[in-house]
């Protein structure tokens, strides 16, 4: 959930921070970690999800363009000025102008980005801050672009795998609703005029048609309210909080969700380590990508690692690795190449997810098509069953 935190740093600087946190206590903790004294905290109201999506800052494109301008020989201020001028009539341009104001005042780029947490997440700010100590901003941007490209690739694979089943559900649902809302009422009038005994299931279907014909507004309104309530419930944080643990406890899906989160975690951890961020700090920052259950385990592992215990051993004890990942972590510890090894672990997990998604879609799609066909075929069969019986009696 997003919180607006009014905070102070020093005697004169008072700013408003927008933070994503589990609760108010977590928001206060995040603000204090940034060095602020919290004045007030309140939950930010999100008016519309679609508006929020349209106004999202294109961070990946910004990083690519900034890297290209810096590589062309422009200074940092000149590069940001160029990007702000290019987007001067948009919300992104206004945001970049805010970044420029901090740069004109002699502040670092990481400080300027930190004042805009809705556009620049803590992982991005930390990467830029680490690069400022070594003078490798272009290399840091290149690492982030590579990292985000890999993450987006996994998301696209999951999204592409879900498109066809969703289309099947939409088309099958539309055909079923057409039969139930239009065709069945027509048949109910025909059978009511003809009379005679009907099979039990057909009578039930005809009763539905008669009810819809007599009260169309009431029935259709009830269906619309039910669908709206389901859609509203899915978007509520409380519903998601209840649903996610159920999915995690599912026999097959839960294991894949865990692998997906670990892939994101190790990918982010590798990017942070390559940026020069210390291991414990990188673990704490990357743990924000994990679900609450894994986050608690990660906190325990971080504490043990801070005390000097081996990374592979701590991760294994808290259930944050698989056998293959554990061995790869051990190799990374022995060779001093922990950053590239975590990225290899992420690639291994991502390949495993891709194989499972491909297998699942190949199995699920024909099962879904068969289920939709059975439902539609059953409705049609019940509609025509009395006609078949009448034809048999005439013969």
Residues lower than pLDDT 50 in the chain: 46-54
Taking residue 219's Cβ as centre, other Cβ atoms within 10 Å add up to 16
CA gap 339, 68 in Å, rounded: 25
179 DSSP assignment: I
The string of DSSP letters for 301-335 reads HHHHHHTT--HHHHHHHTT---HHHHHHHHHHHHH
- Radius of gyration for the alpha carbons in the chain, expressed in angstroms and rounded: 28
- 253-351 to CATH, choices 1.10.3710.10, 3.90.110.10, 1.20.81.30, 1.10.10.10: 1.20.81.30
The predicted-structure confidence for 201-224, as pLDDT tens digits, reads as follows 777 777 777 777 777 788 778 878
Nearest Cα residue to 266 out of 241, 307, 306, 301: 301
Protein fold of 1-45? Ubiquitin-like (UB roll) (3.10.20)
Nearest Cα residue to 13 out of 97, 121, 114, 84: 114
CA gap 302, 290 in Å, rounded: 14
Provide the 3-class DSSP secondary structure of residue 247. Answer: helix
Going 79 to 92 to 28 to 30, the CA torsion angle's sign is negative
Sequence length of the chain is 395
Q: What is the pLDDT of residue 50?
A: 37
3-state secondary structure 330-383: HHHHHHCCHHHHHHHHHHHHHHHHHHHHHHHHHHHHHHHHHHHHHHHHHHHHHH
CA gap 287, 305 in Å, rounded: 14
Q: What is the pLDDT of residue 390?
A: 61
Predicted TM-score (pTM) of this structure: 0.65
Q: What is the pLDDT of residue 194?
A: 58
Q: What is the pLDDT of residue 254?
A: 78
Q: What is the pLDDT of residue 233?
A: 79
| Extents of the domains making up the chain | 1-45, 253-351
């Amino acid at each position: 959930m997003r919180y607006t935190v009014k905070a102070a740093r020093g005697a004169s600087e008072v700013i408003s921070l927008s933070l994503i946190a589990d609760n108010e206590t977590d928001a206060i903790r995040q603000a204090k970690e940034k060095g602020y004294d919290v004045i007030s905290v309140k939950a930010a109201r999100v008016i519309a999800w679609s508006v929020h999506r349209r106004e999202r800052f294109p961070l990946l494109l910004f990083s690519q363009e900034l890297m290209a301008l810096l590589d062309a020989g422009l200074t940092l201020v000149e590069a940001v000025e160029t990007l702000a001028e290019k987007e001067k009539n948009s919300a992104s341009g206004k945001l970049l102008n805010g970044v420029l104001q901090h740069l004109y005042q002699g502040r670092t780029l990481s400080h300027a980005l930190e004042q805009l947490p809705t556009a620049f997440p803590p992982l991005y700010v930390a990467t830029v801050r680490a690069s400022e100590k070594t003078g490798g901003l272009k290399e840091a941007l290149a690492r982030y672009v590579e990292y985000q490209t890999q993450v987006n690739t996994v998301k696209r694979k999951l999204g592409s795998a879900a498109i066809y089943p969703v289309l099947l559900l939409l088309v099958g649902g539309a055909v079923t609703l057409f039969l139930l809302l239009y065709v069945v009422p027509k048949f109910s009038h025909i059978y009511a005029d003809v009379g005679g005994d009907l099979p039990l299931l057909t009578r039930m279907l005809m009763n539905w048609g008669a009810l819809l014909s007599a009260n169309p507004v009431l029935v259709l309104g009830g269906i619309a309210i039910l669908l709206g309530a389901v859609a509203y419930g899915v978007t509520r944080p409380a519903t998601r909080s209840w649903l996610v643990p159920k999915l995690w406890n599912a026999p097959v899906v839960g294991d894949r969700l865990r692998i997906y989160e670990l892939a994101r975690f190790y990918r982010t951890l590798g990017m942070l380590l390559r940026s020069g961020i210390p291991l414990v700090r990188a673990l704490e920052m990357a743990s924000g990508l994990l679900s609450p259950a894994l986050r608690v385990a990660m906190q325990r592992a971080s504490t043990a690692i801070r005390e000097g215990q081996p990374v592979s051993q701590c991760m294994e004890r808290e259930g944050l690795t698989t056998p293959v990942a554990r061995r790869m972590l051990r190799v990374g510890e022995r060779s001093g190449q922990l950053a590239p090894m975590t990225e290899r672990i992420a690639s291994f997990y991502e390949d495993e997810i891709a194989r499972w998604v491909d297998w699942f879609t190949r199995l699920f799609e024909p099962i879904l098509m068969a289920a939709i066909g059975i439902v539609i075929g059953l409705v049609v069969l019940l509609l025509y069953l009395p006609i078949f019986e009448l034809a048999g009696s005439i013969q």
